[in-house]
Structure 1
């Protein structure tokens, strides 16, 4: 509802105008002020759509009030009324930006025409502003989506000015175990933003991930970013009964480095695999690797490392070695001799079974471990051989090109079906984590992104070369939810499917 402020030093005049507004059925909230100074005080406190003021008033006349009021609220519509019809008043009023001028006594028809005109102008301006705001919000999302998907420079959008910050203070990656966004509506974004006490930009990345980008705050928040991450996790759990994992970076990220920042967050999020009871992941968090020393025995950790080595999962090897180091660092009852024995055993597991080493070199490594001053030195020694192992695995990974080629071909032929990391990994007899790792290494993007790229390309071809309905195209490229398909297509190509088809059609005729 619009608000009108009636300003007149005569109470009868104020009440008479309010009565007219009510009788004519105008949807206006009516406020009063008895002089120009009080009207200005009201305008400084509260937003108003229409100012209806008498010209002749004590303390401050209507022209002075208009001049000062438009400084406070530039979009204010001002209607002057007065018993004095002098030309100079009207001329001055027009120069100040007054919308209309009524003469006393106010004629009902003239008053009705004037109010209808002014309300129509305000409504039209609001509609334009809302459309502009929606366009800017959509374009901003598209630009950020483009940046986080690997474009290193700020994209441009013809006819729309978007002010992106030079950097974001922090990034938070949200991840779900299921394809949550296949079923969650657009209100989920509003829900997430309502949990925060500081401004943030939100981007939906795919079916199970979204990103929060926090600009530099104008005022400090009472919550740290880790606490914000915990609020998000708890809010989603309470409202949707689903686990939301959150990864938090530790430093500001330049606008051109958003893709790198997202990659770092995705690597951090991989600790989910090793810490299933951990929901918030922050860099350099000691509790990230080992939360309860009594639950994991050395043999369990070593068995995990053996499985990692079998699957050529270097990331898993490194993470589990870190778990072992953190365990020993936190529990002081272990003797130096025992710790050195365990790591020498681990060293032999790595070198004997996976590296071609002479007995002399093997014994030299064991000797270095036993001569180490502290656990950090032992960790460095082990990591030297992990690097050699990683190089060997890299050199011998040509055999996995065949697996990647098979997965690509399968996706290209079955993009309309439900595809998951687990089902694809089973087809090439690899662990899901290892398939994800080698696919991203060989292709330069994750499996989810590759599947989305294929589906979007197929959708583009169908929109360009056929007359199929958008709903039919959605199902034929693997999206059961049409609105979710349209959202993904718009994020990918910058236009909705309907707009894209119109653009292609217009371009062909031209």
Structure 2
């Protein structure tokens, strides 16, 4: 059985969790409790429990200091912390320490049981990965897959073994980027400048790209076109120069993929382009975060679905009415702040007279809290989308003018987004909605039409490649053939001999 321990300086909390949780039904043995940090550390060292439940504020040694010590001695330990509503700075530190979950006080039996189920699911997933590793065959390819999994989950500890299995080519590697998708349609062909190692982890399809040179704009452009043509979303982590940092790129790729789903974006979504779209408001649960991210990205359908799930969770957990109302108010005020950021003056005017805590009491007396809560969030996202709609046309028009002035050089999405004062990923979504095609496809179409015109005037292919903004002839030729069905040279021949004589 898994071992667990509970640490809290409140007797009623320790007694309640000891007596009211059926630990054995979860396959867990509660090995002890402690009411201060020093005793807690002694108990941990004596029993080495896999699961730790601890309050943040305790005498002797606070919960965060305790977790730091535990993670130094046994980093595989899973820690769940209890936190007061106003302790967001503590929660932020706890997240940085890698806690498995955090619960706001007052804690309830259902929330504890839910946290237990969540952490057990995590353990189960880790065991699945370990089982996968034990089943891999001893072929070179399978050994590399296993070593790459180790690199993603263990980092520096697994780097030497990975280099040994990869072989002599490891010496030329100067960077690593991880891509994540949920589709089997993405194909990454090996190139001279990078190698893509495909992995599967649950529903995730991963590509660990090890680079012999820094990824060029052509690398990202080709990936964007390939993923758009396959009508799939791909999240990309940042490119790191150290192999041991592949784990960071992996986590970033998953977050980028998740944001792509919120945005409804197809193609490649890069972590470094997301900006505040993935800045997680402090102290939020995953349910609350999903609502805020949907509001932030203007995804009304997704937000309404998340609201219904949130309300269903409150009803299923049978939360105390005061606790439920407190959680709803917190979420409403956070949503209002997000709306003010997106909608500007309109949301600010609403905020001047908006008193949800007063309305909530009235709705509670009438038994209409959930309907009112849903309508308030609906109103806030409508205001956000209204502002977004009015800003979209002007911003995209400015962007198109800028692109048409600069498409003869390598003008990036990042550069154009900065020109109109927008987050790159958010701009990418707006551009596609307004123009009907992605930024990459739009720029490619303009360049290829110009290339056809220049070729028809007799210019050399290399000169045309430079004039339409491509660094290499090879990449220009590949894109031109994909766009027209023939190479630039063949196109020139057709113009010179239209009858094929």
Q: Is TM more than 0.5 here?
A: no
TM (normalized to structure 1)? 0.40
Greater Rg over alpha carbons, structure: 1
TM (normalized to structure 2)? 0.40
Structure holding more helix per residue? 2
